[in-house]
A and B are shown apart, each in its own frame.
Chain A
């Protein structure tokens, strides 16, 4: 039996999925969720084989939800129109259902998922590594224990590389996020966030002072008291951004 979770904020959109699934006796719906928070919880609880996932949802979007999962299940995206997401799907050859879709189209997606199995999951991971919808540039969603925390980017002090993770430093301490420095360097507003070192991206609003450390190296002082080392190129980028 294939276990399925439906995640969509519109009840009728979930109801049509349920109806179409009746054609597939080997699938059973173990949970239905109306927002991303519920989705994360239900996935942790039920460990489904496949999820039907909408992109635009309250609080966190479909991509942010996936990022929070330790081992994401198979995903079939359902979306009405999201130019941004659709481009990403095309690029990574991931199947997605455009609302409204027919039973035939739905069946095809199910077949494709069955035939590709785990291959789809790998593609989804590739997708997540590269994708960042506009709203992700405004906030970072992190997990703290079993809670989800939404950090508007202006509350982030700085980002620090930490093995395969990023430490997102804030007033409340740091959160771990499985992403790369290159990703955040790309998606965060370069006028606000500057990569000053191989392992550091800092929020300019937090910067109070730049001090020399040795003859030709510098360190940035933040309002929080943190001291961030600046690489040679990081220092010149910082100077350029600050116009000094």
Chain B
């Protein structure tokens, strides 16, 4: 369907040509009927000009409506009304421009046919517009979907790079190396956790959404490893009501946010830190709030905090809205709020 990609100027020309054609036809018809060229042309010009404006009106008024059954009735009603208004305007204008009895009689007799012609044309424009809007929307949502798929794939790859983040991976291995001497049991356990975590990160199925329960289990593996690494310094507190655990969210979304909070918290302060994760549901939206301490006086981090850009982009594309991640700073606490709409 080429229409949505046609440049505006060419569409305007095509539109005007369409009405000029009808104008020419009407002029010929009226001359055959017995009117002079002057009368015929004036009538055709006024008639088609008003119809053209009506067509434009219905076209623009439909851009803001999504095609749906309910709107169909509205469009039919609106087109009938427009046609009536057109005929009235044409009559009033023509009566003032051409003033002899034969023509006025003809004008009165042709009201119904003019109305019918106008209505059909307006409906034709409405249907075309409808179709155009429909195709355009479909194309847009297709584009969005494709980009979301592409991004999910990219995220998966960058997850490979980030979560198998060399720094994280090698430090974990170093911890295991230390544990093998002093606490072999714990070393074995940590190898297990690290393996499960890595497997979760590179899971092959590309189902885009998982339950909160699954995501929290994956997160727990990560937290367990980090706790071994940082010992007593790192505390985590997860608050999630059982009823929320079946809600859905994009896979591997939460872990980078928590990782960001941990890095931020651990490297910005020297004391013990507590990372809090609170899940709640607000209407049809799953809210996840991650809080970490930081030092207001010395923190050089600006903006939304590093590491969250990818998460933000992913949410933007998946849900087509830009207000799903918010960060705030207060009382030496940095809060990241994720909002995940739940489809009905």
B175 with A10: CB separation less than 8 A: yes
Q: What chain B residues lie within 8 Å of A165 (beta carbons)? A: none
Once the chains are docked, how many angstroms separate the CA of A43 from the CA of B267?
21
Q: Which residues of B contact A9 (CB under 8 A)?
A: 230, 233, 266
Q: Is A44 on the interface with B (CB-CB < 8 A)?
A: no
Chain B residues contacting A154 (CB-CB under 8 Å) are 300, 302
- Of B166, B176, B268, the contact of A80 (CB 8 Å cutoff): B166
In the complex the two chains form, is B177's CB within 8 Å of A59's CB?
no
Q: Does B91 belong to the interface (CB within 8 Å)?
A: no
Any chain B CB within 8 A of the CB of A56?
yes
Q: Is the CB of B270 within 8 A of A59?
A: yes
Within A68-84, the residues touching B (CB, 8 Å) are: 80-82
- Beta-carbon contact of A12 and B181 below 8 Å: no
B35 to chain A, nearest CB (A): 68
For A11, what are the chain B residues with a Cβ–Cβ distance below 8 Å?
Answer: 230-231
**Beta-carbon nearest neighbor of B232 in chain A:** A11
A138 touches B178 (CB 8 A): no
Chain B residues with CB under 8 A of A16: 174, 177-178, 181
**Chain B residues whose CB sits within 8 angstroms of the CB of A57 once the complex forms:** 267
Residues of chain B with a CB closer than 8 A to A38's CB: 270
Tell whether A115 is near chain B: CB-to-CB under 8 Å: no
Q: In the complex the two chains form, is B267's CB within 8 Å of A15's CB?
A: no
Q: Are A138 and B300 in contact, with the CB atoms below 8 A? A: yes
List chain A residues, Cβ under 8 A from B176: 100
Our pick among A19, A37, A58, A100 for the contact of B173 (Cβ within 8 Å) is A100
Question: Which residues of the partner chain A approach B169 to less than 8 Å between Cβ atoms?
Answer: 80-81
**How big is the B interface, by class?**
20 to 34
User: Is there contact, CB below 8 Å, between B170 and A139?
Assistant: no
A5-33 Cβ-contact flags toward B at 8 Å (1 or 0): 00001111101100100000000000000
Count of A-B residue pairs with CB < 8 Å: 85
Asked if residues B298 and A139 are in contact (CB atoms below 8 Å), the reply is yes
Complex Cα–Cα for A15 and B299 (A) = 30
Task: Select one of A12, A56, A58 contacting B175, CB under 8 A.
Answer: A12
Cα distance A37–B299 when bound, in Å?
Answer: 15
- Cα–Cα, bound, A34→B229 (Å): 12
Tell me, rounded to whole Å, the shortest Cβ–Cβ distance linking B87 to chain A.
60
Are A81 and B170 in contact, with the CB atoms below 8 A?
yes
With A10-B175, A138-B300 as known contacts, state yes or no: A58 contacts B181, CB within 8 Å. Answer: no
Q: Which of B174, B301, B302 contacts A13 (CB 8 A)?
A: B174
B178 touches A19 (CB 8 A): yes
Whether B300 pairs with A152 at a CB distance below 8 angstroms is yes
Decide: B267 and A56 in contact? CB cutoff 8 A.
yes
Within 122-173 of B, Cβ neighbours of A (below 8 Å) are at 166-167, 169-171, 173
Q: Which residues of A contact B181 (CB under 8 A)?
A: 16, 19
Task: Find chain A residues with CB under 8 A from B266 CB.
Answer: 9, 58
Alpha-carbon distance between A12 and B190 when the two chains are bound, in angstroms: 13
Shortest A36–chain B CB gap in Å is 9
Interface residues of B (CB under 8 A from A): 166-167, 169-171, 173-179, 181-182, 228-231, 233, 266-270, 297-302
* 19 more A-B residue pairs beyond the given contacts A80-B166, A138-B301, with a C-beta to C-beta distance below 8 A: A9-B230, A12-B174, A12-B179, A13-B171, A16-B178, A16-B181, A34-B233, A34-B270, A35-B270, A37-B270, A58-B266, A59-B269, A99-B171, A139-B298, A139-B300, A150-B300, A152-B298, A153-B300, A154-B300
Q: List 17 A-B contacts (CB under 8 A).
A: A10-B229, A10-B230, A15-B178, A16-B177, A19-B181, A38-B270, A59-B269, A59-B298, A80-B166, A80-B171, A81-B166, A99-B170, A99-B173, A138-B300, A139-B298, A152-B298, A152-B300
